[in-house]
């Protein structure tokens, strides 16, 4: 069983790493073209700097700057939140993070706190914090506390609920909950309070996404809580 799990984790991380390699290709190419002298680059005219796309290092530095100044208070520098109402976001696909920030800013995803936090972020800032948090390694803070609930949750996560035509969560979020770039968020190790709140928001239609709205509309509350409990206990490295 342990062997199978290790293989799964390995298989998942291989996919993820190839995803990273893929997205960083253009950045690498840009790095080669970039003037070696940073001061010189800073002095470049607007036209020139618009022509040269930022390097991966520039993007990470911008992300770290924003996170260190603002987001750290609730999501930590490492993307692990101390309070269960604030999601852990270490290792979330960068595109998913950027999309959620765009949705908070545009009011598509409604949350008063995050509306304020995203209001001044440009699309490039959103990409930068996405890349920054994606590079952080998830650690374990949440736990599954109720064994019976977690076992029911595991059944749903792996096999869905056939009678209610609910598909297995693993089908989209991955066998070990690591998510999948670009659109499928990581779930493993998430605070159960946050997961339940999001599942209910999809169920009521307050948070809009066709797949998740349809799925949650067919799951009863006790099963939402069970799957959130199981997810909290999933231990998956990025
Ligand atoms: C005062 C606390 C606070 C601060 C500061 C904060 N957040 Fe959040 N963040 C939250 C809460 C609460 C949620 C959950 C919102 C919800 O329930 O929809 C959240 C949700 C998110 C999500 C969605 C995660 C997911 O799994 O869907 C992202 C991405 C995010 N925040 C990024 C940021 C970034 C980037 C910053 C800094 C610019 C930031 N947050 C600053 C409290 C905060
Ligand atoms: C058909 C694919 C699919 C299946 C099956 C699926 N999901 Fe999702 N899920 C998604 C997508 C896509 C998103 C991101 C939606 C968005 O952008 O709001 C998501 C988002 C979520 C979120 C929000 C995460 C966050 O950080 O805010 C949770 C929680 C979640 N899913 C749980 C589940 C559970 C539990 C199941 C099984 C009962 C499940 N999902 C099955 C595609 C799927």
pLDDT, tens digit, for every residue of 137-176? Answer: 999 999 999 999 999 999 999 999 999 999 999 999 999 9
Which residues have any ligand 2 atom within 6 Å of their CB?
87, 156, 166-167, 169, 171-173, 183-185, 187, 195, 198-199, 209, 211-212, 215, 227
Structural tokens at position 153: 């949750």
H or E element at residue 122 = none
Is 233 in contact with 143 (CB distance < 8 Å)? yes
Which residues have any ligand 1 atom within 6 Å of their CB?
66, 70-71, 73-75, 85-87, 89, 92, 97, 100-101, 111, 113-114, 117, 129, 185, 197
What distance in Å separates the CA atoms of residue 153 and residue 143, rounded to the nearest whole number? Answer: 13
Is 59 in contact with 27 (CB distance < 8 Å)? yes
pLDDT band at 29 (very low <50, low <70, confident <90, very high): very low
Q: Mean pLDDT for the chain?
A: 85
pLDDT digits (tens, 9 = 90+) for 39-94: 444 444 444 556 789 999 999 999 999 999 999 999 999 999 999 999 999 999 99
Structural tokens at position 174: 């991955």
What distance in Å separates the CA atoms of residue 90 and residue 66, rounded to the nearest whole number? Answer: 15
For ligand 1, the distance from its centroid to the CA atom of residue 47, given in whole angstroms, is 34
What distance in Å separates the CA atoms of residue 60 and residue 54, rounded to the nearest whole number? Answer: 10
For ligand 2, the distance from its centroid to the CA atom of residue 116, given in whole angstroms, is 24
Ligand 1 atom with the smallest distance to the CA of 67 is 37
What distance in Å separates the CA atoms of residue 225 and residue 200, rounded to the nearest whole number? Answer: 10
For ligand 1, the distance from its centroid to the CA atom of residue 116, given in whole angstroms, is 10
The residue count for the chain: 238
pLDDT above 70 (res 134): yes
For ligand 2, the distance from its centroid to the CA atom of residue 13, given in whole angstroms, is 19
Structural tokens at position 35: 């003037």
Comparing C-alpha atoms, which of 215, 212, 205 is closest to residue 108?
Answer: 205
């Amino acid at each position: 069983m342990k062997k199978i799990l290790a293989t799964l984790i390995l298989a998942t991380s291989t996919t993820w790493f190839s995803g990273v390699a893929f997205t960083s290709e253009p950045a690498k190419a840009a790095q080669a073209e970039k003037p070696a002298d940073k001061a010189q680059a800073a002095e470049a005219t607007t036209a020139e700097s618009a022509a040269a796309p930022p390097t991966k290092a520039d993007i990470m530095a911008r992300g770290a700057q924003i996170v260190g100044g603002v987001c750290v208070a609730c999501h930590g520098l490492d993307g692990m939140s101390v309070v269960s109402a604030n999601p852990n976001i270490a290792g979330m696909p960068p595109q998913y993070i950027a999309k959620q920030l765009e949705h908070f800013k545009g009011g598509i995803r409604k949350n008063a706190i995050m509306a304020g936090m995203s209001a001044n972020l440009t699309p490039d800032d959103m990409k930068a914090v996405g890349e920054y948090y994606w590079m952080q390694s998830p650690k374990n803070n949440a736990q599954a506390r109720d064994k019976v609930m977690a076992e029911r949750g595991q059944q749903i996560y792996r096999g869905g609920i056939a009678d209610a035509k609910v598909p297995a969560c693993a089908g989209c979020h991955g066998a070990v909950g690591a998510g999948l770039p670009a659109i499928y968020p990581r779930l493993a190790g998430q605070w159960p309070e946050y997961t339940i709140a999001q599942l209910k928001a999809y169920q009521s239609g307050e948070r809009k996404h066709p797949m998740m709205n349809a799925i949650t509309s067919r799951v009863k509350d006790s099963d939402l809580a069970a799957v959130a409990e199981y997810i909290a206990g999933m231990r998956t490295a990025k």
